[in-house]
């Protein structure tokens, strides 16, 4: 991996008395694809907004290197206001002028057959998302932030959306951040997973490492106390135990059947572990 | 583009699964000596993979002697004829080990397994 292009240090954001981001230290390199997961209210969206510069931190900062300015950072969110009363054409015109884009590439929205005179506020959720992506796409962003949007669009548009993101990653070596709650369509894309809880990252790990070292054991008997169980769920007489980190030495000591998990279960494990911890407090 | 899919939950990392798929295409003859592999970007889009993962699979295939990368023009199937026989042997053994593990976990005895093998090979 190349050197970090984004450095986040001591990042703190408060809203009233509530701490939303609690002293985050993290770096990201060029071309990386990062998944940010966490319970509702963990601070994921605020973190993304700090990366875009929409939210200014109370303490600490986000530094970009390599001459990345706002015109190279794309943000896609369903909460974004896209000049609602503009028509599609006016929106494109405005965006291209603000960002100095000479050739607006319409290939992402060609299939949608927009009426250029249609107002942006009358687009469907899927159409808005693709429209938003096509604006950002034309900026050839070095950084792309995608905030909980993939699940609101239909499977056909979702494919187009993901293919466009993959295309950017390959063509522009774009660093991509995805904040998500559903993972099946995207689980093979991110190479790094960050899990957020209470304004901090409690997990920052390579996806392959997580897939290798987080395992599920189904058992009627309770697991021994030296098994690092993060979280369990009871189903009738059996429990599903989620174990992390699981290594060959543990497998040898306790020869259960260690089952593989998917990305949804990986994330659920850490979030579930946090909820369980809160119940104990 | 390929006949099988890639499974996140598999014990093999994704790039390893992709290498396996390319090797299957080669062994089955669907990809022949001198054919071009799908471009990295197109394959990543079709399988919804990170392009870095596809690139890693392609370098590894190159290092293992199945693929030649030509600067600016993509990746091409290129192997020494002997490599293919060895690959076939290795993959058949892997399949066999997998079968044996599953059969043993179902409680099959050695005799039961041998009987099945003898019966089916004689029927061929």
Smallest CA–CA distance, residue A34 to chain B, in Å, is 11
pLDDT for the residue numbered A279: 85
Whether the per-residue pLDDT at B82 is higher than 70: the answer is: yes
Give the closest of A31, A33, A163 to B45, CB-based: A163
pLDDT tens digits, residue range B6-28?
988 888 899 999 999 999 999 99
For residue B2, tell me if it sits in a domain.
no
Burial A48-73 (b: 16+ CB within 10 A, else e): bbbbbeebebeebebebeeebeeebb
Is the Cβ of A262 closer than 8 Å to some Cβ of chain B?
Answer: yes
Per-chain mean pLDDT for chain B: 91
Pick among B6, B11, B21, B48 to test the A interface (most A CBs inside 10 A): B48
* Rounded distance between C-alpha atoms, residue A44 and residue A31, angstroms: 20
User: Residue A27 CB: number of other CB atoms within 10 A?
Assistant: 13
Whether residue B71 is found in the same domain as residue B98: no
Whether B86 and B115 map to the same domain: the answer is yes
> Where is the domain boundary, B44, B62, B79?
B79
Note the pLDDT of residue A82. 67
> At B50, which CATH number?
1.10.10.10
Give B30-62 pLDDT, tens digit per residue. Answer: 999 999 999 999 999 999 999 999 999 999 999
A104 bridge partner residues: none
| B102 pLDDT above the threshold of 90 | yes
Query: In the structure, what pLDDT confidence band is assigned to residue B89 with cuts at 50, 70 and 90?
Result: very high
Show the CA angle centred on residue B19, arms to residues B15 and B25, nearest 5°.
145
Question: Tokens for B105?
Answer: 């976990």
Q: Is residue B73 part of a domain?
A: yes
Q: Choose the mutation target among A169, A188, A263 for the interface with B, i.e. most B CBs under 10 Å.
A: A188
Same domain, B56 and B94: no
Q: B1 in a domain, yes or no?
A: no
Signed CA dihedral, A251, A253, A256, A261: sign only? negative
Rounded Cα gap, residues A204 and A35, in angstroms: 10
Set of chain B residues whose Cβ sits within 8 Å of the Cβ of A171: 41
pLDDT value of position B107 = 94
Q: Are B30 and B57 in the same domain?
A: yes
Q: Could A33 and B14 be called an inter-chain contact, meaning their C-beta atoms sit closer than 8 Å? A: no
The span from the CA of A178 to the CA of A203, in Å, is 15
Q: Is the same domain home to B58 and B94? A: no
Asked if B75 and B88 sit in the same domain, the reply is no
Is the CB of A188 less than 8 angstroms away from the CB of B53? yes
Nearest Cα of chain A lies from the Cα of B48 at a distance, in angstroms, of: 7
Q: How far is CA B83 from CA A115, A214, B12, B90, B94, in A?
A: 57, 36, 22, 11, 16
Distance CA B36, CA B44 (A): 16
- pLDDT of res. A21: 96
Residues B39, B88, single domain; the answer is no
Per-residue pLDDT, A2: 61
Domain co-membership, B22 together with B67: yes
DSSP letter assigned to residue A54: S
* SS3 state of residue A252: helix
First to last CA, chain B: 32
> Mutate which of B51, B54, B106 to test chain A, going by most A C-beta atoms within 10 A?
B51
Same domain (yes/no): B34, B91:
no
Q: Classify residue A199 by its DSSP letter.
A: T
A188 has a chain B CB within 8 A of its CB: yes
Domain count, chain B: 2
Kindly indicate whether the domain formed by A4-206 is annotated with CATH number 3.40.50.300.
yes
Within a domain: B6: no
> Does the distance separating the beta carbons of B8 and A208 come in below 8 Å?
no
Question: Is the pLDDT confidence value at B29 over 60?
Answer: yes
The residue of chain B nearest to residue A263, with distances taken between CA atoms, is: B8
What average pLDDT does range B87-114 have in this prediction?
93
Tokens representing B65 are 């002697």
The reply to whether B75 and B102 lie within a common domain is no
Distance CA A70, CA A64 (A): 10
CB-CB contact of A186 with A150 (8 Å): yes
Give the containing element (helix H, strand E) for B17: helix B14-27
Domain ranges of chain A: 4-206, 207-280
Residues B89 and B70 in one domain: no
pLDDT score at A281: 80
Regarding whether B91 and B40 lie in a shared domain, the answer is no
Domain extent, residue B63, equals 14-79
Does residue B9 lie in a domain region?
no
Q: Over chain A (281 residues), what is each successive 10-residue block's mean pLDDT?
A: 85 94 96 94 93 93 90 84 83 88 85 85 88 90 91 89 94 94 88 95 95 95 94 94 95 94 94 89 80
- The verdict on a CB contact (< 8 Å) between A170 and B51 is yes
pLDDT number for residue B1: 67
Task: Please report the ipTM that was assigned to this predicted complex.
Answer: 0.85
Q: Which tokens is A233 given? A: 């769920």
Structure tokens at B79: 């192997």
Taking contacts as CB-CB distances below 8 angstroms, the residues of chain B near A31 are 52
**Which residues from chain B sit within 8 angstroms of residue A186, using beta carbons?**
48
């Amino acid at each position: 991996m190349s050197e970090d292009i984004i450095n986040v240090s001591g990042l703190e954001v408060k809203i009233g008395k509530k701490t939303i981001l609690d002293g985050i230290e993290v770096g990201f390199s060029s071309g990386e694809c990062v998944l940010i997961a966490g319970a509702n209210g963990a601070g994921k969206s605020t973190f993304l907004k700090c990366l875009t510069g929409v939210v200014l931190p109370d303490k600490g900062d986000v530094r970009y290197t390599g001459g990345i300015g706002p015109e190279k950072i794309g943000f896609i969110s369903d909460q974004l206001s896209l000049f609602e009363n503009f028509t599609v054409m006016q929106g494109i015109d405005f965006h291209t002028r603000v960002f100095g884009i000479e050739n607006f590439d319409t290939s992402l929205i060609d299939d949608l057959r927009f009426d250029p005179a249609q107002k942006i506020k009358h687009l469907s959720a899927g159409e808005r998302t693709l429209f938003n992506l096509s604006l950002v796409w034309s900026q050839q962003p070095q950084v792309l932030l995608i905030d909980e949007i993939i699940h609101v669009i239909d499977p056909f548009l979702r494919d187009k959306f993901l293919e466009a993101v993959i295309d950017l990653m390959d063509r522009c070596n774009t660093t991509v951040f995805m904040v998500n709650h559903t993972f099946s369509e995207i689980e093979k894309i991110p190479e790094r997973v960050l899990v957020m809880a209470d304004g901090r990252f409690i997990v920052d790990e390579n996806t392959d490492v997580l897939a290798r070292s987080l395992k599920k054991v189904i058992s009627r008997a309770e697991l021994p106390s030296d098994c690092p169980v993060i979280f369990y769920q009871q189903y009738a007489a059996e429990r599903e135990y989620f174990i992390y980190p699981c290594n060959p030495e543990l497998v040898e000591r306790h020869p259960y059947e260690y089952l593989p998990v998917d990305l949804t279960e990986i994330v659920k494990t850490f979030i579930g572990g946090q909820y369980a911890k809160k119940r104990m407090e | 583009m390929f006949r099988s899919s890639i499974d996140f939950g598999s014990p093999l990392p994704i790039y390893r699964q992709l290498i396996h798929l390319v090797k299957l295409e080669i062994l089955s003859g669907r990809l022949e000596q001198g054919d071009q592999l799908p471009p990295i970007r197109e394959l990543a889009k079709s399988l919804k993979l990170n392009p870095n993962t596809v690139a890693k699979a392609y370098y590894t295939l190159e290092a293992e002697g199945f693929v030649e990368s030509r600067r600016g023009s993509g990746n091409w199937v290129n192997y020494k004829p002997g490599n293919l026989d060895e690959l076939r042997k290795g993959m058949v053994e892997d399949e066999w080990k997998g079968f044996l593990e599953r059969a043993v976990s179902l409680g099959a005895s050695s005799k039961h397994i041998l009987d099945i093998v003898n019966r089916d090979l004689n029927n061929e």
